[in-house]
Amino acid sequence: MTTGYTDYRVEIKNVKFTSDDGRICSKTAIITFINAEGKETGTELFGSIEVNAIYDLIKAGKDIVLDNMYVSDFSLSSYRRQNDIEKKAIVHIKSFSAKNAFFESKVCNDFSHAHLDDGVVSFDGTHFAKGRVSFTGSVFGKGNVIFSNTYFGDGNVEFNGSSFGEGDFLFKNAVIKDGVKDFQDIQFGNGEVSFANTEFNSGELLFINTRFNSGKFNFKVARIAGGKVDFHYSVFGDCEIMFERTEFGNSRVDFRTVDFGSGRINFNRSVFGNGEVNFEGASSKAGKIQFKKAEMGSGLKSFNLMEMDDTEISFERTEFGDGDVTFYESRFNSLSLKSCHLNTYLDLRLAKAQLLDISDTIVRDIVDLEPYDFPVDIKVIDLTGMRLVGKLYIDWKRNRCKEVVMQQEGSTLRQKAEQFRILKENFRETGKYSDEDQSYVMFKRFESKSWLTEQKEKGGFTKIVSYIPHGFKWLVFDAMGLYATNPARVLVSMATGYLLFSIIYVLMILFTNADIVSSTTDQLNVVARSFYHSAITFFTIGYGDHYPHGAARVISAIEGFMGVFLMSYFTVAFVRKVLR
């Protein structure tokens, strides 16, 4: 049938019309389509049937076949008035088919509170050219209900309160002009519910409190120009949910408190405009939700309080636009923001998650992970490859930074070192110097382990020799002073070194020819001489009243170097603490 028209003209001729399936109608309706410029764009022929004739078929309990028919002012409300039936009483219709038909009405094409028997109900290719369309409170039996390729010229479509038996509800390739599309409080049976490739234009699209059972919900490539898209309180069963490449325009998109059931949900490549996107309080029993390569605009994106403990949700390579993004107090099995450009404030204070993947991201604003009024329970955080231009609000202890990086299963030692480096730089920028020290120590440790692993992989002599510098670095830089981050650790190392050398002098004097000789008349016992000489040597005082003899000279030279080194080490660590 001709599409893209803005107006039309109807002429009824007393000429017999024969449909493709052999049905004969005494009159022919000639419909001429007119475009926005006022030009005629095409003509279609339909059989013309009086509405009272349809009412007589309904009253007689016969099949209603309106394929290729022109119908004017069809109304079950009028049928009820003519037959003295209460306003909302159910009207029983044995079967109904209106494929490629043409309906128009001054007010409403009214199918409300109808009860259709089991079997296919088809409006495939039909045009509702004028007047709103109402199936409010209608009951459909088992079988497919087809509105594919249907055109709604008014744009106000009402299915609220209707129910469907087992079978598919197909709204594919339909075109609905501006208006309210009301699918609230519907009960769908098991089967596919499809609005794939449907053109909704502007207005309100309402699925509030609608129940979808097992099967498939397909909104793929649907297009909405703007207004409101509301699935508030809807419930899905074991249902695959497809919003792939859906265009939401600048609509306010509302999925608050939706129960997504246990099926797989796909928003890949969906395009959200500048309206608010709200999934607050949504839940899912299991499965996956994917927003890969989706595009979002400047409105607020709220994913707060979502209850999805067993669900993996992925926003890989999603463009979040300019509006704030918040996952405050939500619960997931895993949340992936891998390879996203995060140009705006992002609240990642999750109540619970096994994995938070923000690897390969570019952060230009604030990413908030720091607990405030509830504990943030994230087992593993992956920061691999992050480019941090903005800031991370994170706490070393309360966010368990050490554990969330170390427990990563797929990252290498080098990648873990790099993540601790990112944390170290971030803590310095945010003024958390104690946390900076903690992350710096972990960065250096994993950097050292990574170097040793790389050397060991080379094998042979290189593998054996690599343990020497690795062990030296561990002893001097890590064990003695935690990479100059802990002055107290350096003091302990100094005291330990002093005691160790003192004891060595005692043993050397007792069991070798080495000695500590006094240049004065003051004579000390072996222990006193050893500890005194160790002190003036370690602190490089050098009074000259006692001096080493024999092999003790070598030990004294080593101790003097160690004293100078450790005092310098302590000075660096102490000044570093004081200046910050």
- The 8-class DSSP code of residue 251 comes to P
Q: Is residue 329 a part of any domain in this protein?
A: no
Q: Is residue 516 a part of any domain in this protein?
A: yes
Looking at the fold, whether 424 and 492 belong to one and the same domain comes out as: no
d(Cα 47, Cα 30) in Å, to the nearest integer?
9
Looking at the fold, whether 464 and 440 belong to one and the same domain comes out as: yes
Between 487-511 and 552-579, two packed helices, what is the crossing angle to 10 degrees? 170
Extract the runs of DSSP E, i.e. beta strands, from 472-514: none
Q: What is the CATH number of the domain that holds 512?
A: 1.10.287.70
Pair 47, 69: CB distance under 8 Å: yes
Distances (CA, A) of 381 to 304, 332, 450, 515: 19, 13, 20, 59
Q: Is residue 106 a part of any domain in this protein?
A: no
What element of type H or E holds 409?
A: none
d(Cα 192, Cα 143) in Å, to the nearest integer?
11
Query: What are the backbone angles phi and psi of residue 423, rounded to the nearest 5°?
Result: -65, -40
Check residue 1 and give its pLDDT.
65
SS3 41: strand
Distances (CA, A) of 153 to 91, 176, 197, 222, 248: 26, 7, 17, 18, 21
Looking at the fold, whether 439 and 506 belong to one and the same domain comes out as: no
- List the chain residues with pLDDT less than 50: none
d(Cα 56, Cα 26) in Å, to the nearest integer?
17
Pair 200, 222: CB distance under 8 Å: yes
Structure tokens at 251: 């609509």
Virtual CA dihedral for 335, 341, 347, 349, nearest 10 degrees?
40
Looking at the fold, whether 5 and 28 belong to one and the same domain comes out as: yes
Looking at the fold, whether 468 and 496 belong to one and the same domain comes out as: no
Q: Annotate 147-205 with DSSP letters as a single string.
A: -TT-EESS--EE-TT-EE-SS-EE-TT-EE-SS-EE-TT-B--SEEEE-TT-EEEEEEE
Looking at the fold, whether 451 and 509 belong to one and the same domain comes out as: no
What element of type H or E holds 258?
A: none
Q: Is residue 523 a part of any domain in this protein?
A: yes
Looking at the fold, whether 511 and 560 belong to one and the same domain comes out as: yes
Number of domains in the chain: 3
pLDDT in tens, 149-192: 999 999 999 999 999 999 999 999 999 999 999 999 999 999 99
Looking at the fold, whether 471 and 504 belong to one and the same domain comes out as: no
Domain's final residue, options 475, 500, 516:
475
50 Cβ partners below 8 Å, 6+ apart?
none
Q: Is residue 535 a part of any domain in this protein?
A: yes
Q: Is residue 291 a part of any domain in this protein?
A: no
Q: Is residue 552 a part of any domain in this protein?
A: yes
d(Cα 400, Cα 376) in Å, to the nearest integer?
9
Place of tokens 């405009």: 273
Check residue 172 and give its pLDDT.
96
Q: Is residue 507 a part of any domain in this protein?
A: yes
Looking at the fold, whether 498 and 566 belong to one and the same domain comes out as: yes
Looking at the fold, whether 463 and 510 belong to one and the same domain comes out as: no
Looking at the fold, whether 535 and 571 belong to one and the same domain comes out as: yes
Looking at the fold, whether 494 and 575 belong to one and the same domain comes out as: yes
Q: Which residues pair with 392 in a beta bridge?
A: 367
Check residue 59 and give its pLDDT.
93
3-state helix, strand, coil in the chain (%, to 5): 25, 30, 45
d(Cα 494, Cα 506) in Å, to the nearest integer?
19
For the chain, the C-alpha Rg in angstroms (whole number) is 39
Virtual CA dihedral for 80, 83, 86, 91, nearest 10 degrees?
-60
Q: For residue 6, what are the domain limits?
A: 1-48
